[in-house]
Amino acid sequence: MTRKQKRMLVRIIVSAALMVLLAFITLPPVARFVAYLALYLLIGYDILRKAALGIIHGQLMDECFLMAIATVGAMALAIVQKSGDYTEAIAVMLFYQIGEFFQSYAVGRSRKNISALMDIRPDYANLEGEDSSIRRVSPDEVAVGSIIVVNPGEKVPLDGTVVTGTSSLDTRALTGESLPREVAPGDSLVSGSINMTGVLRVRTQKAFGESTVSKILDLVENAGSRKSKSEDFITKFARVYTPAVCIGALLLALLPPLVLLVLGRAPLWTQWIYRALTFLVISCPCALVISIPLSFFAGIGGASKAGILVKGSNFLETLSKTGIVVFDKTGTLTRGVFVVSGIHHNMMEEAELLEYAALAESASSHPISLSLQKAYGGLVDHSRVSDVHEMGGGGVTAIVDGHQVACGNDKLMRSLGIEAMPCHSIGTIVHVAFDGAYAGHIVISDVEKPGAKEAVRKLRKAGVGRIVMLTGDSAKVADQVARDLGIDEVHSELLPGDKVDAVEDLIAHKDTKASLAFVGDGINDAPVLSRADIGIAMGAMGSDAAIEAADVVLMDDDPMKIAKAIRISRKCLVIVYENIVFAIGVKLICLALGALGIANMWLAIFADVGVMVIAVLNAIRAMFVRKL
Ligand code: ADP
Ligand code: MG
């Protein structure tokens, strides 16, 4: 509890006790009025102040305004009627404050929960100096390429690669994955994970601001700023609703007595004014105004606990309507870790061909390039390579040791006017050309991710009608993968631009209510990620392009998380609708009862606080997503 909340709690308790106490004391009328007025001010001064400020700033129509009018009105009525019954006005204020207190406590709690979940911000880094001395510094003071030491139990402060040491890492806060990850020299480390067992010396690869941990915290902290349609609706609704209610109350106070006067009967002014005030209390829209954003907030929090980062509540809303899921193949459904399964038609030594290919590819971050580097095994001397050009969805050309080397698929070869030798093996074929002449090809193959097939099945089970795979790879490989995974629609041999066209075509011909989700790894498909109704980036730990372009980021490579993300979003939206219907429904019933004079102010405030408490508790349900 914050200090402010504690103070409020004390105020509520003291006021409630005083209210009970005053009920048992008989005082002369003036003293009684003064005592109750003091109590009223004690419990309600901040509401009255806010209402007054609202009036000064011309923003009349908020809850404080409604509460102030209703309670001041009730006090005034008690004076006019000489009844001396001031309890009602005070009770209304008291319950309203209890409701507000509960709400701020709940919001505070869930905010805290979420930031605890995302407790990945490192406090310091152990920087190793030239003389191997260790200095504890702030992570943002560490330059790229420095050596830092991460002891067991510490958070990894910056992205980097292990130089010495082995250990297991707890990445749960980042990925929702509870199995520890083993690392050894050469492996890359993601900031925000926790080193569990061994001491690691790490060479940093990114500055703190560019590290995964900063990107993610940024994303989580800004998730609230993108509003969903439901939230917009509530804002607009409140703008029309409150004035409408005020006018309604005014009419209720004036019209019936006037009609009665015209009819020649007693106008019953106080009775109708009292009903109008009750009507005002009932109509306070707090439950709606608070519970909708809180539901989304809880949904986003629950998702991040599962390693799914959603950049805003609007995306949660779109995600819940997913009707088509479009997959990229390499790195998304397959692991993107290729192994060389053959080298054919080579005009030079196999090892030499591989060396030229690896050197030409040395600047590319494509999974194929990384795999060729690995197969080559040697250290790449960057000074041997120059003039690198990468053709997305094709391959690369470069000058290596003064020779023109081209390395890629038959599209690339065709564009260079070189005839590529076809290959009969199934696999991704990397053709290599040397000084403009064909020099052979390397057959590499990728494996499907373990969860890919299950992921497709789960998506169908979640009611996604259409699942499509787009790839730049050859038709042979694409068809094979699609058959294995149970995907019926495949488009292959696409350039990055073709993928955008394919997705636009799908969007143009789909049911307007359903949304299209594209799932990719950000390599050669960032434009599609931003074009789709909702872009989901896979295994984005480290890939900046994907984190920027995507709307939803899956922290680990697991394609199974897509169905989970959809289910989380649906649960959250069901809760949002439940709250809207429940809150508006109860309000309407109470309003009718109030207008008929059946509901009094006590009932009104109970209904209001009750609805708010239930709606907030319901909203918090959105955070529990483990079983989804
Ligand atoms: P996917 O759509 O399956 O993710 P990409 O669009 O990234 O595939 O690449 C499509 C094809 O383009 C690859 O299968 C490969 O043949 C070729 N290609 C792309 N980049 C490279 C590269 N750096 N080296 C060799 N070939 C490449
Ligand atoms: Mg790809």
pLDDT band for 485, please (50, 70, 90 cuts).
very high
> Do strands 515-520 and 534-537 pair parallel, antiparallel, or not at all (unpaired)?
parallel
> Do strands 188-189 and 437-445 pair parallel, antiparallel, or not at all (unpaired)?
unpaired
Task: List, in order, residues 6 or more apart from 48 with CB less than 8 Å away.
Answer: 41, 64, 68, 72
For the chain, state the CA radius of gyration.
33
Which of 326, 361, 364, 366 to probe ligand 1 with, by most ligand atoms within 8 A of CB? Answer: 366
Residue 358 pLDDT exceeds 70: yes
- The answer to whether the CB of 452 falls within 8 A of the CB of 559 is yes
Out of 328, 446, 556, 557, which one is annotated catalytic? 328
The torsion defined by the Cα of 556, 377, 440 and 471, in degrees rounded to 10, comes to 10
Q: What is the pLDDT of residue 431?
A: 95
Average pLDDT over residues 201-230: 78
Q: What is the pLDDT of residue 611?
A: 86
- Closest-lying ligand 1 atom to the alpha carbon of residue 495: 6
State how far the Cα of 469 lies from the Cα of 329, in Å rounded to an integer. Answer: 7
- The answer to whether the CB of 294 falls within 8 A of the CB of 489 is no
- Closest-lying ligand 1 atom to the alpha carbon of residue 429: 16
State how far the Cα of 379 lies from the Cα of 469, in Å rounded to an integer. Answer: 36
Q: What is the pLDDT of residue 541?
A: 56
Task: Specify burial of residue 61 (Cβ count, 10 A radius: 0-12, 13-18, 19+).
Answer: middle
Ligand 1 centroid vs 452 CA: distance in angstroms? 20
State how far the Cα of 89 lies from the Cα of 601, in Å rounded to an integer. Answer: 8
State how far the Cα of 407 lies from the Cα of 579, in Å rounded to an integer. Answer: 58
* Helices and strands of the chain, counted as H and E runs: 20, 22
Give percent helix, percent strand, percent coil of the chain, each to the nearest 5. 55, 15, 30
Note the pLDDT tens digit of each residue in 562-574: 999 999 999 999 9
> Do strands 188-189 and 160-164 pair parallel, antiparallel, or not at all (unpaired)?
antiparallel
Q: What is the pLDDT of residue 114?
A: 60
Q: Which residue's CA lies nearest to atom 8 of ligand 1? A: 472
CA dihedral sign of residues 51, 52, 53, 58: positive
Note the pLDDT tens digit of each residue in 33-42: 999 999 999 9
- Closest-lying ligand 1 atom to the alpha carbon of residue 478: 3
Ligand 1 centroid vs 474 CA: distance in angstroms? 9
Note the pLDDT tens digit of each residue in 465-483: 999 999 989 998 999 999 9
Closest CA to 211 of 163, 310, 143: 143
Share of the chain above pLDDT 70, in %: 95
Ligand 2 centroid vs 447 CA: distance in angstroms? 14
State how far the Cα of 591 lies from the Cα of 270, in Å rounded to an integer. Answer: 19
Q: 142-151, 239-248, 373-382: which has the minimum mean pLDDT?
A: 239-248
Which of 326, 328, 330 to probe ligand 1 with, by most ligand atoms within 8 A of CB? Answer: 330
Ligand 2 centroid vs 459 CA: distance in angstroms? 20
Task: List, in order, residues 6 or more apart from 455 with CB less than 8 Å away.
Answer: 558, 559, 560, 562, 563
Note the pLDDT tens digit of each residue in 534-549: 999 986 555 667 777 8
Q: Which residue has the tokens 């005009």?
A: 347
State how far the Cα of 96 lies from the Cα of 284, in Å rounded to an integer. Answer: 10
State how far the Cα of 121 lies from the Cα of 303, in Å rounded to an integer. Answer: 19
Note the pLDDT tens digit of each residue in 418-460: 999 988 888 899 999 999 999 999 999 888 998 899 999 999 9
Q: What is the pLDDT of residue 115?
A: 61
Note the pLDDT tens digit of each residue in 302-330: 888 888 888 888 899 999 999 999 999 98
pLDDT band for 111, please (50, 70, 90 cuts).
low
Which ligand neighbours the alpha carbon of 491 most closely? 1
State how far the Cα of 127 lies from the Cα of 246, in Å rounded to an integer. Answer: 63
**CA angle (57, 238, 245) in 5-degree steps:** 90
| φ, ψ for residue 480, nearest 5 deg | -60, -50
pLDDT band for 612, please (50, 70, 90 cuts).
confident
Q: The tokens of 466 are what?
A: 């259409």
Q: What is the pLDDT of residue 536?
A: 94
Give how far the C-alpha of residue 408 lies from the chain's centroid of Cα atoms, to the nearest Å.
37
Note the pLDDT tens digit of each residue in 389-406: 999 889 999 999 999 999
Q: Which residue's CA lies nearest to atom 24 of ligand 1? A: 395
Q: What is the pLDDT of residue 246?
A: 83
Which of 471, 481, 503 to probe ligand 1 with, by most ligand atoms within 8 A of CB? Answer: 471
Q: What is the pLDDT of residue 364?
A: 87
Ligand 1 site, CB within 6 A = 328-330, 361, 364, 366, 368-369, 393-396, 407-409, 428, 430, 471-473, 523-524
pLDDT band for 117, please (50, 70, 90 cuts).
low
pLDDT band for 217, please (50, 70, 90 cuts).
confident
> Do strands 489-491 and 466-470 pair parallel, antiparallel, or not at all (unpaired)?
parallel
Q: What is the pLDDT of residue 437?
A: 93
Q: What is the pLDDT of residue 572?
A: 94
Average pLDDT over residues 594-609: 79
Average pLDDT over residues 594-622: 83
Ligand 2 centroid vs 473 CA: distance in angstroms? 9
Average pLDDT score over the chain: 87
The residue that leads in pLDDT, 122 or 15, is 15
pLDDT band for 224, please (50, 70, 90 cuts).
low
Closest CA to 299 of 385, 351, 230: 230
Q: How far is CA 611 from CA 86, 238, 419, in A?
A: 25, 17, 73
Letter string b/e over residues 568-579, b meaning 16 or more CB atoms within 10 A of that residue's CB: bbbbbbebbebb
State how far the Cα of 556 lies from the Cα of 331, in Å rounded to an integer. Answer: 12
Identify the helix (H) or strand (E) that includes residue 162.
strand 160-164
Q: How far is CA 471 from CA 274, 482, 518, 548, 552, in A?
A: 70, 11, 12, 21, 21
State how far the Cα of 568 lies from the Cα of 604, in Å rounded to an integer. Answer: 34
- Closest-lying ligand 1 atom to the alpha carbon of residue 372: 24
Ligand 1 centroid vs 412 CA: distance in angstroms? 10
Q: What is the pLDDT of residue 149?
A: 94
Model-level pTM?
0.80
Q: The tokens of 59 are what?
A: 């923003």
Q: Which residue has the tokens 């809850």?
A: 63
State how far the Cα of 213 lies from the Cα of 157, in Å rounded to an integer. Answer: 8
Which ligand neighbours the alpha carbon of 372 most closely? 1
Q: Which residue has the tokens 């001396």?
A: 84
Q: Which residue's CA lies nearest to atom 12 of ligand 1? A: 393
- The answer to whether the CB of 490 falls within 8 A of the CB of 478 is yes
Which ligand neighbours the alpha carbon of 329 most closely? 1
Q: Which residue's CA lies nearest to atom 20 of ligand 1? A: 395
- The answer to whether the CB of 487 falls within 8 A of the CB of 456 is yes
Which ligand neighbours the alpha carbon of 441 most closely? 1
Q: The tokens of 7 are what?
A: 């103070």
Q: What is the pLDDT of residue 116?
A: 60
Task: List, in order, residues 6 or more apart from 266 with CB less than 8 Å away.
Answer: 260
Which of 329, 473, 523 to probe ligand 1 with, by most ligand atoms within 8 A of CB? Answer: 473
Q: What is the pLDDT of residue 381?
A: 87
pLDDT band for 298, please (50, 70, 90 cuts).
confident
Identify residue 98 by its one-letter amino acid code: I
Q: Which residue has the tokens 């980042």?
A: 174
Residue 226 pLDDT exceeds 70: no
> Do strands 200-204 and 160-164 pair parallel, antiparallel, or not at all (unpaired)?
antiparallel
Task: List, in order, residues 6 or more apart from 433 with CB less than 8 Å away.
Answer: 404, 405, 406, 407, 413, 416, 418, 439
Helix ranges, 283-349 (H):
286-305, 313-320
Q: What is the DSSP string of 198-236?
A: S-EEEEE-S-GGGSHHHHHHHHHHHGGGS--HHHHHHHH
Residue 223 pLDDT exceeds 80: no
Note the pLDDT tens digit of each residue in 43-58: 999 999 988 888 888 7
Q: Please confirm, yes or no, whether 521 is among the known catalytic residues.
A: no
The residue that leads in pLDDT, 524 or 498, is 498
Residue 101 pLDDT exceeds 90: no
Q: In what order do the strands lie in the sheet with 167-170?
A: 181-183, 167-170, 194-195
Q: Which residue's CA lies nearest to atom 2 of ligand 1? A: 471
Q: Which residue's CA lies nearest to atom 22 of ligand 1? A: 395
State how far the Cα of 407 lies from the Cα of 386, in Å rounded to an integer. Answer: 14
Residue 103 pLDDT exceeds 70: yes
Task: Output DSSP code: residue 179.
Answer: S
Helix ranges, 509-600 (H):
526-531, 544-549, 561-596
Which ligand neighbours the alpha carbon of 521 most closely? 2
